[in-house]
Amino acid sequence: MISDGRPPFYGRTAIVTGGALGIGGGITRAFCRAGAKVVCVDNDEAAARRLASECDQSDAGQVEVLSGDVRDPSTAGRAVDAAGHVDILVNNVGDFRPPGRFANSTEEAWDTHYEINLKHVFRMTHAVLPSMLSGSAGSIVNVSTVEAFRGIPGNAVYSAFKAAVVAFTRSLAVEVGGHGIRVNAIAPDLADTPQTPAAAMLGGRDPELIESWVPLGRFGQPDDYAQVVLFLASDQARFITGQTLAVDGGTLAASGWYRRYQAKGWTNLPDRP
């Protein structure tokens, strides 16, 4: 709560792309709990409306649903119109599917990845900047991935565009910092969401193996990522810009080291039971 008892984001408006499910759903909920008006942009209108109903019944803020595909050039403008003045933008939408060898990929697939994973970040950011510039304030948080910092076989195009998100974050932060606008990003890993459910990631393996792969010993939940986004958008992070924070339970720091299965110590060769 702020000093007058109101929640910390009271009176602020946020746009969250892909804000209905998974990490995006967690971000929408977190901002709503913190008192913000959230424009939830999602092509799954039913899921977005379910979330809006839940938030409106129990939280301090409100959710306005905007049904739209981020690949549609009109969606960004519609989102800004719905928001009015924009204080916060979270470019959350991303999709690594379908995976496959680069040698077998097509230009059509490259274009789809570009539209979803990078161009939408450009388009939404370009649309909100006039509002932020006019108020000499604003926070933009982009969602990249740890795969921007390490190799991911079968997803070379995806990781390339997500690495571009990191570079865009860094450069834009320098460009607009003098106008009171901060630009940061998070890099998630192993998120237990509808797009990447824990059961699919385990693939029939013993769940106890998670402790071998993730130093913190579990997969991430949507609110784990949402709380970091909330921090980056808050006044607590007022002197942070141009940064990408890995929200990954320590997997990037481990850099290929694995806790030994049912034994002490670590190995750089994954154990198998």
In 3D, which of 113, 108, 40, 106 has the Cα closest to residue 71?
A: 113
| Calpha distance 29→222 (Å, rounded) | 10
Other Cβ atoms less than 10 A from the Cβ of 20: the count is 25
Active site (catalytic) residues:
158
Total number of residues shown for the chain = 273
- 91 by DSSP, 3-state: which? strand
Question: What are the angstrom distances between the C-alpha of 3 and each of 6, 8, 10, 30, 251?
Answer: 7, 9, 12, 20, 38
| Calpha distance 142→187 (Å, rounded) | 9
Structure tokens at 115: 């539209």
Is the dihedral angle over the CA atoms 20, 22, 24, 29 positive or is it negative? positive
Torsion-angle region of 138 (φ positive above 0: left; ψ -120 to 50: alpha; else: beta): left
| Calpha distance 147→131 (Å, rounded) | 32
In 3D, which of 33, 30, 24, 122 has the Cα closest to residue 66?
A: 24
